Amino acid sequence: MDTLVVGARCAGAPLALSLARAGQRVLLVDAAALPADQPLSTHYIQPYGMRILDDLGLGDQVRELAPPLPANIVGVGDVIVRVELSGKARGSCPRRHDLDRLLLEAAQAAGAQVETGVRVVDLLRDGERVVGAVLDERGKRREIRSKVVVGADGPHSTVAKLTGATEYYGYDAERATYWAYWPRPADYETAEPYRGASAMLYGGRDLYFMFPANREQLLAGIAFPTENLGEWRGRQRELVLERLRAFPLIAPLVQGEPISEVRGVVKARFFFRQATGPGWALVGDAGLFKDPAGALGISDALRDSQALSRALLQGTEAALERYWRQRDIDSLALFDLARSSSALDYDNPLNRVIFGRLAQNELLRGRIVKVMTREIPPSRLLSPGQVLGWTFGALCRGQFGILKPLLAAAQSGARLQKELRIRTELLDACS
């Protein structure tokens, strides 16, 4: 076997698809009986993720499942910004059981061998090199020899555990999250202020969110400080309905009963992991797990699966290490963006000023679209001069609360630049 891929969802399946199309012998396994829902996943595929699906020949099938969204709405306090999207700048929100089914079927059609309901319980080694794995299917075990074993098995990756992949740049989530699905109102695409958009809405220390899923569903939920978990214990459904029905922009959409159980994540950790070693590699959430507030997980899994497939086809240790180091450089700014987007103090005087300016300036909203499409990094959305000018204006109006979040943003930016320098040096060293 050329490559054993462990995990057959939105990182592992497209990796197997690309490798099989290039003529590799690939075995793709997953512990679950796929296709199945993935309840702990956001559904949003960013525009650059849709481009990758187009390259794989699957973009139109995804759009048929979940028509592209025309806009994103972001609210901070009483400031609401609507970012209009068009053409290739639109993302889609398919349910995971549908998306994963498409990817799995495409991998099979390309020639990958697929086995579900199969767990990896150990790795085979020749000295320090991984040379295969021990698979378990309903208690029956067998050994599979492979040139490379890839872990695409999520944040609690068995492959990462068995290889001892090192974690770095990690942190614990400040928020817990609960959500459910509702039928999408018939006029959702035309009714104000929605007009088919997704929404992220910050109110105090809570974050409310909603987005269409597939053609007929609407997901809505709330993320709140983990310190408040005690009051939610045993009351999840009651409090989700109560809080959403009390939030003005979401309330009209959730007056009926949900069509799913209430789901949630109460404890999470976000991190980078060592992505390669002798005879193994990690991809997707197994190697890089971002806060879902950024809605980047599926798209970056697609991105990294394609980068890893190129490295595996080159067939050298140096190519695999370059994949790892380039992944870090491509992801650090987005990782920090997702972290800041879920910070408990995101609804602060500085962000209220910034979003107020974005609401008034079509050119700046267009730059948000360029960040979404990866044409520019998040750091180029606003210039330091613009932010300092807005800050000075706020200070002149007596809004001194803007200084604390401005200092925190500057410190975060300096930390990011330091990390980027370190990761760039590591990439240069393996080139």
Dihedral of the CA atoms 43, 90, 295, 290 (nearest 10)? Answer: 120
Q: Is 150 among the domain residues?
A: yes
Nearest to 221 by CA among 235, 242, 195, 193: 242
> Do 300 and 404 sit in the same domain of this protein?
no
**Can you list the alpha helix ranges (DSSP code H) found in 199-250?**
229-232, 236-246
Residues 127 and 217 occupy one common structural domain: no
Q: Could you tell me if residue 79 is inside a domain?
A: no
CATH, residue 11 = 3.50.50.60
Residues 62 and 121 in one domain: yes
Reply yes or no on whether the pLDDT at 35 is more than 80. Answer: no
Same domain (yes/no): 23, 131: yes
Residue 138 has, within 13 A of its CA and on its CB side, a CA count of: 4
Q: Which of 208, 233, 265 is the last residue of a domain?
A: 265
Residues 129 and 183 in one domain: no
Nearest Cα residue to 229 out of 270, 179, 178, 181: 178
Give the pLDDT of residue 42.
Answer: 75
Q: What is the pLDDT of residue 39?
A: 65
Domain-ending residue, one of 283, 315, 339:
339
**Per-residue pLDDT at 341 exceeds 90:** yes
Measured from the Cβ of residue 231, the count of other Cβ atoms closer than 10 Å reads 10
Higher pLDDT, 100 or 33: 100
- Give the model confidence (pLDDT) of 291-336 as tens digits: 999 889 999 999 999 999 999 999 999 999 999 999 999 999 999 9
Is residue 298 domain-shared with residue 405, that is, in the same domain? no
* Contacts (Cβ under 8 Å, ≥6 apart) of 154: 7, 9, 284, 285, 286
User: 37 pLDDT band (50/70/90 cuts)?
Assistant: confident
By the 8 A CB rule, do 245 and 180 touch? no
Better-predicted residue by pLDDT, 177 or 37:
177
Which pair of tokens denotes residue 421?
């320098």
218 falls within a domain:
yes
The reply to whether 162 and 309 lie within a common domain is yes
Averaged pLDDT for residues 125-138: 96
According to the model, what pLDDT value does residue 88 have?
81
Q: Stretch 29-42: mean pLDDT, rounded?
A: 79
At 40, the pLDDT band (50, 70, 90 cuts) reads low
Q: In the chain, how many domains are there?
A: 3
Last residue of a domain, one of 229, 249, 265: 265
> Which structural domain, as residue segments, surrounds residue 190?
174-265
User: How much is the mean pLDDT over the chain?
Assistant: 94
| Domain identity same for 57 and 157 | yes
Alpha helices in 74-218 (DSSP H): 96-110, 158-163
SS3 379: helix
pLDDT at 431 over 80: no
Distance between CA atoms of residues 29 and 342, nearest Å: 33
The residue that leads in pLDDT, 33 or 16, is: 16
pLDDT band at 158 (very low <50, low <70, confident <90, very high): very high
pLDDT digit string, tens, across residues 68-127: 999 999 999 889 999 999 888 899 999 999 999 999 999 999 999 999 999 999 999 999
Q: Which amino acid is at 358?
A: L
Question: Do 123 and 201 fall within a single domain?
Answer: no
Residues 278 and 187 in one domain: no
